[in-house]
Structure 1
Amino acid sequence: ELDRQILPDGGHVSRNPSAQLSILLDLLSLRDALAARRIEVPKPVRDAIDRMTPMLRFFRHGDGRLALFNGSTEGPEGAIDAALERDDAKGRPFGFAPHSGYQRLAAGPVNLVADTGPPPPGAFSHEAHAGCLSFEMSAGRARMIVNCGATKVLGPDWEAASRATAAHSTLVLADTSSARMLKGKLSRRLLGPRVMEGPVEVESRRNENEAGVWLETAHDGYAGLFGLIHRRRLFLSATGEDLRGEDRLDTATAPRRRMPWQRLFRHRVPQDPGFTIRFHIHPDARLSLAHDRTNVLVLLPNGDGWQFRARSGGGECEIAIEESVYLGSGDTTRRAEQIVVAGRVFRGEARVNWAWRRLSTRNAGHPKREDAEVPELPELELPPGG
């Protein structure tokens, strides 16, 4: 069973960091109990612990707690420390978990974790979210860009909302989630609230050099209903003070076959659908929108200031700040805010470039308009077959 649930890179098959922590703590307790009685620890248990511990470190933010993906909460305070204290390997987390479907970019004070995998298999998808290509980012010990989190105690409406794509820091097309969950009472009773359909092909490639880290990703979660592919590119500079991104929607070259339920709603699909790119911000941060609505200043509790700006293929984007909610603890809600960039698909394509830049804490104000240009992403150079 351990070989079935623990993937080769050490992640749990559910892709849920909280499940990772819970199972690892159970295995560590089992190992310690057997060792105390001088009973040999079975090799599958030892191997699972050896694989899972580095993966737990992979999911850890600068504040020492878990990233919020696929039903995860931040985790009990001290629980991750308790697990990692028993790990002999104290090195830095690795950058790519190919089997679990996650990427980690780290430079300077910044830790960024991105969801670059398809939904888990049906039986393990009861808590999975429609957050493909979403990411979270912390700067030092302060979380900045987050997903909304998850809850099991606030009722089914809250649970459903937290699983939607709009509750994640990624692109949302036509107010539609990139993965759909079972909703019928009978089917949910028989099969649970598992993922019914979602991205099948998820691309993820990265390259690193002295300039920084490039990440190029894509998913086909919107191909069946809209015939569009979402592509996201990220670049994090070597200093960790410059994060640039590009979100694109392109016409799928080989559109996925429509599911029966999709054919029923074909007439409702708009020809040139609108989209939003959402960046949910941790409630401890403070946001300030420039008067011309071209950039946002985010002030973190540690005194850092970060400036966000965006630009579409047709020129500057209008940026809005909207209400959000944070469910990091899993059992309480906190008021939060989100940065929203809106646009519309035109002739089967759309592109938005955006950037986050760390500002000097001495001058953490809105930059002058001429200093607020959105820089282009450096060309993504990938090794052969990367």
Structure 2
Amino acid sequence: MSADQSAQSAVVRKLAKRPLFSRLFASGRQPLKLVAVPRDHVQGDRQRGEALLAGRFVLGSEAVSLSDLDFAALGTGGPMADALQGFSWLRDLAAASSREKGARVAESLAGGWLLAHGTRVDDAWRPDLWGERILFWTAYAPYILSSRDSGYRSALLNTLVRGARHLDANADKALPGLDRITAWAGLVTAGLLVQGGVRVARAESGLARALSTAQFEDGGLISRTPSQQALLVDRLALLRASYFAAKQSLPDTIEAAAAAALAALHGVTMGDGGLSSWQGGNHGEPARLHALIEGCGLRARPLRQARGWGYHRLSALGTVIVIDAAPPPPAKMAPSGCASTLAFEMSDGPQRLVINCGGPGALPTALPPELVEGLRTTAAHSTLVVSDTNSTAIMPDGSLGKGAEDVTISRSEDNDCSRLEASHDGYVRGFGLVHKRSLMLGNDGKEIRGADQMIAKGRRKIRDAAPYAIRFHLAPGVEPTITADRMGAILRSPGAPPWNFRCRGANLTVEESLTIDSRGRMVPTTQLVIQGEVAAIGGEVAWQFRRSS
């Protein structure tokens, strides 16, 4: 043990002997312990674990030195702080080390947390953070409770119980959605696994309420955020493991919610195994997502027709299309919601072709705030934009205003193709136009036919004409070559055969674009842009992608 760790252990022993902890060990009471330790079947990120062993915590493109880490100064509310405070990094540490080696790091950090936050209720006792902390402290108990220092072990276990009791009174104060689900899931876990914990039945009822107010019936979160959907699957998987460890029956409602959540998550994955980019998030890390899906203990087919979740999926022989066919999410569920209605992403096998620009999501980022706001606009998504106006207004304070509210969907399948038609009213107030997008994917996966219609509706009329642009942002590495007639392009990429793009009814150009990668960094790319003007009577542009072989 290093000098720093020895000093920290001495302080924790001293802390454990203070009156607060003495009261918890009143005469005649048995020491607290876990009745079982769940097994986390999700494989952590070995590279991140090795960084922890080397003294660095890495998140996105940023890193924190563990030797300088002060949990009291760290605070909460930012991506880096919350990731450290939630202790989910224990999974990565376990992937890179033996228990003996990893415990030296884990117990040092857990001891530091106890010193900073163990004796008082502060921001680190936020309900969602306690829920996450309980899920990972119990699953990785061998890494944080291997110490021979009884004072440290007592301090940690007593603090865990106090955290559970705090959740019992405060779980519903967590923000609605994933945060509240996490809080209640942690409380259920504590009830199952910790002596002197809380009533499991009450915690299960709270979790059922949290799920019912955060999940659509089809399993997707009301935030409509794929990265949060992945965390929902993870939280419920850890909770299932707690039931199995405690040899308790898993309630049918939780099992059904977990299976539906996984199906919705599958529905927004692309051919490379990563996420499609919606609601300010990016494609994430395919290997990490694969580990989560493989380790969650459930199997489900991708959700294709998502009425609530809103992301419809077309797929055929390796070609995958994901379409946003719903209004933006409520602001209270997704503060960074995007004006992306009727945008789509497309991949051919592992090669992404058409994308959205994405965003940093929950990662720390050095991107300028004005760029992050710009990534929420309709123009940052692969869809039609009228007069450079968002289909749903983004207000000066960052909230979403009026726009796409009524989205209609029609879908059909036959022996030749899958068809989807969807429309939204986001341009009716400003221009008297409904945007209708039609997509057809052939069953051989080689052809996608599309059309964007601007249909006159309502009293508001365009006086002369309004410009429009239909944007197809291209994935990094996809190189477009415009054809001589400027009505088409050849798309070449290292991971798929060439695709031919054709359009009619407007002019085609290539413009610069960008996307945000899985570490929250900006990556330059290009976009195909169909430009024209629409009159009050409306208009239509047809387009086609066709694989060369």
Displacement of 1:227 in angstroms is 1.2
Displacement of 1:336 in angstroms is 0.3
Partner of 1:237: 442
Structural mapping, 1:1-386, within 5 Å: 1-86=210-295, 90=299, 92-151=301-360, 153=365, 154-184=367-397, 193-252=398-457, 254=458, 271-312=464-505, 317-329=506-518, 331-360=520-549
Counterpart-to-counterpart distance in 2, 1:207 and 1:276: 28
Counterpart-to-counterpart distance in 1, 2:547 and 2:255: 42
Report SS of the residue matched to 1:124.
coil
Displacement of 1:93 in angstroms is 1.8
Counterpart-to-counterpart distance in 2, 1:6 and 1:207: 26
Displacement of 1:155 in angstroms is 3.0
User: Deviation digits for residues 75-124 of structure 1, max 9, x if unmatched?
Assistant: 23423222321466656423211111121101122000000001112311
User: Deviation digits for residues 284-322 of structure 1, max 9, x if unmatched?
Assistant: 21111123322100012124100111001xxxx321000
Give the structure with higher Rg (CA): 2
2:380 counterpart letter in structure 1: A
2:241 counterpart letter in structure 1: D
Counterpart-to-counterpart distance in 1, 2:356 and 2:428: 24
Structure 1 residues 38-47 or 269-278, which shifts more? 38-47
User: Deviation digits for residues 151-182 of structure 1, max 9, x if unmatched?
Assistant: 25213211111000000000000000101123
Counterpart-to-counterpart distance in 1, 2:517 and 2:403: 24
Report SS of the residue matched to 2:332.
helix
Over aligned residues, Cα RMSD in angstroms? 1.9
Counterpart-to-counterpart distance in 2, 1:145 and 1:132: 16
Displacement of 1:72 in angstroms is 2.4
Instruction: Name the structure with the higher strand share.
Output: 1
Counterpart-to-counterpart distance in 1, 2:547 and 2:215: 38
C-alpha contact 1:138 1:145 (8 A) present in aligned 2: yes
Report SS of the residue matched to 2:238.
helix
Displacement of 1:62 in angstroms is 0.6
Report SS of the residue matched to 1:30.
helix
2:395 counterpart letter in structure 1: L
Counterpart-to-counterpart distance in 2, 1:350 and 1:26: 47
Counterpart-to-counterpart distance in 2, 1:91 and 1:31: 16
Report SS of the residue matched to 2:278.
coil
C-alpha contact 2:275 2:286 (8 A) present in aligned 1: no
Structure 1 residues 213-222 or 66-75, which shifts more? 66-75
Counterpart-to-counterpart distance in 2, 1:36 and 1:343: 62
C-alpha contact 2:353 2:475 (8 A) present in aligned 1: yes
Structure 2 CA distance for partners of 1:198 and 1:328, relative to 1, 3 Å? farther
Report SS of the residue matched to 1:284.
coil
Q: How many residues end up aligned between the 2 structures?
A: 336
Displacement of 1:225 in angstroms is 1.2
Counterpart-to-counterpart distance in 1, 2:267 and 2:424: 22
Counterpart-to-counterpart distance in 2, 1:275 and 1:228: 12
Between 1 and 2, higher relative CO (CA 8 Å, sep ≥ 6) is seen in 1
Structure 1 residues 57-66 or 41-50, which shifts more? 41-50
Counterpart-to-counterpart distance in 2, 1:104 and 1:46: 24
TM-score using structure 1 length: 0.83
Displacement of 1:55 in angstroms is 1.0
